[in-house]
């Protein structure tokens, strides 16, 4: 088969087999692992295009698998996490995972997340002119300007940097600590109130520039809150699906 190879790491046999069969029907090649050690061995042998990783493994913490892969590659990693494990999700994302899904999840949602991370892995989000685009939002990094449907948006330097980080990671979950470090620096890594205030400002300014009606409302919702974790900005494919 010529489709992407997925390394599926799940210790529960029934769930692993069901997911493997689903992925194979969608055209993916699947390597299955029930333990962290087996996952690392298969990773070394085949270098999969994507890793689906349950964190609760019987021999090692799933975060150890993430760190091992991240020493050598930027291969997309999606965490498969039990409900309520916010601390584990944050740890996995901080270690280098790209996204997470909370069990139980719909297989169609899993397929959408896989497509999104593989799409992002194909190249940078900025075009050759250095512009970042999300639907009708455009950021010109050369001129340090932002517009919505051609309407200029006045942002403070911090708001601009925050939007730049979000647009550079479309579809990816970004933890609060990561955003704070990227925009404010290491000293502010625990100041989540800053982030809450600035995200709300961004939402309001982008929505106001889009104007009243459904477009303005959909623009405000592009920056999604991941409760207890951080934020995710939509990607262009999902935006085009909603018409924003």
Could you report the per-residue pLDDT of 52-63, keeping only the tens digit for each? 999 989 999 999
Task: Please answer whether residues 171 and 232 qualify as being in contact, where contact means their C-beta atoms are separated by less than 8 angstroms.
Answer: yes
Whether 203 shows a pLDDT value over 60: the answer reads yes
pLDDT band at 123 (very low <50, low <70, confident <90, very high): low
Mean pLDDT, to the nearest integer, of 163-174?
Answer: 89
Average pLDDT of every residue of the chain: 86
Q: How far apart are the first and last CA of the chain?
A: 36
Among 92, 109, 7, which residue's Cα sits nearest to residue 49? 7
Q: What tokens were used for 113? A: 């997340």
pLDDT band at 1 (very low <50, low <70, confident <90, very high): very low
Whether 183 shows a pLDDT value over 80: the answer reads yes
At 227, which helix (H) or strand (E)?
none
Whether 242 shows a pLDDT value over 50: the answer reads no
Tens digit of pLDDT for each residue in 21-45?
999 999 999 999 999 999 999 998 8
CB atoms within 10 A of CB 45: 9
Tens digit of pLDDT for each residue in 79-96?
998 866 788 889 999 999
Mean pLDDT, to the nearest integer, of 95-109?
Answer: 92
Whether 9 shows a pLDDT value over 70: the answer reads yes
At 170, which helix (H) or strand (E)?
none
Mean pLDDT, to the nearest integer, of 216-238?
Answer: 80
Query: What single DSSP character describes residue 187?
Result: G
Higher per-residue pLDDT: 177 or 8:
8
Q: What tokens were used for 64? A: 């150890």
At 60, which helix (H) or strand (E)?
none
User: How many Å apart are CA 152 and CA 159, to the nearest integer?
Assistant: 14
Strand pairing report for 99-102 and 173-175: unpaired
- Tell me if the domain spanning 131-242 has CATH number 3.40.1390.10: no
Q: Which residues pair with 134 in a beta bridge?
A: 137
Alpha helix (H) residue ranges in 134-191: 157-167, 176-183
CATH (one of 3.40.50.2000, 3.40.50.2300, 3.50.40.10, 3.40.50.300) for 5-121: 3.40.50.2300
- Domain regions of the chain by residue span: 5-121, 131-242
Residue 243: helix, strand or coil by DSSP?
A: coil
pLDDT band at 210 (very low <50, low <70, confident <90, very high): confident
Whether 19 shows a pLDDT value over 90: the answer reads yes
């Amino acid at each position: 088969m010529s489709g992407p190879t997925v390394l599926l790491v799940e210790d529960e046999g029934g769930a692993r087999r069901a997911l493997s069969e689903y992925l194979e029907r969608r055209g993916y090649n699947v390597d299955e692992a029930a333990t962290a050690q087996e996952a690392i061995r298969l990773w070394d042998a085949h270098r999969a295009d994507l890793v689906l990783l349950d964190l609760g493994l019987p021999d090692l913490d799933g975060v150890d698998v993430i760190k091992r892969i991240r020493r050598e590659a930027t291969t997309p990693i999606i965490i498969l996490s039990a409900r309520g494990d916010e601390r584990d999700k944050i740890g996995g994302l901080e270690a280098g995972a790209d996204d997470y899904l909370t069990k139980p999840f719909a297989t169609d949602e899993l397929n959408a997340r896989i497509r999104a991370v593989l799409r992002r892995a194909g190249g940078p989000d900025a075009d050759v002119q250095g512009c970042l685009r999300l639907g009708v939002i455009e950021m010109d990094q050369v001129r340090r300007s932002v517009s919505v449907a051609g309407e200029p948006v006045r942002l403070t330097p911090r708001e601009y940097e925050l939007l730049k980080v979000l647009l550079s990671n479309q579809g990816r979950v970004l933890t609060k600590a990561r955003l704070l470090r990227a925009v404010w620096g290491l000293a502010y890594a625990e100041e989540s109130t800053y982030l809450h205030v600035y995200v709300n400002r961004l939402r309001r300014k982008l929505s106001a520039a889009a104007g009243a009606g459904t477009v303005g409302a959909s623009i405000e919702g592009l920056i999604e809150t991941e409760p207890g974790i951080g934020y995710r900005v939509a990607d262009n494919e999902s935006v085009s699906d909603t018409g924003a």
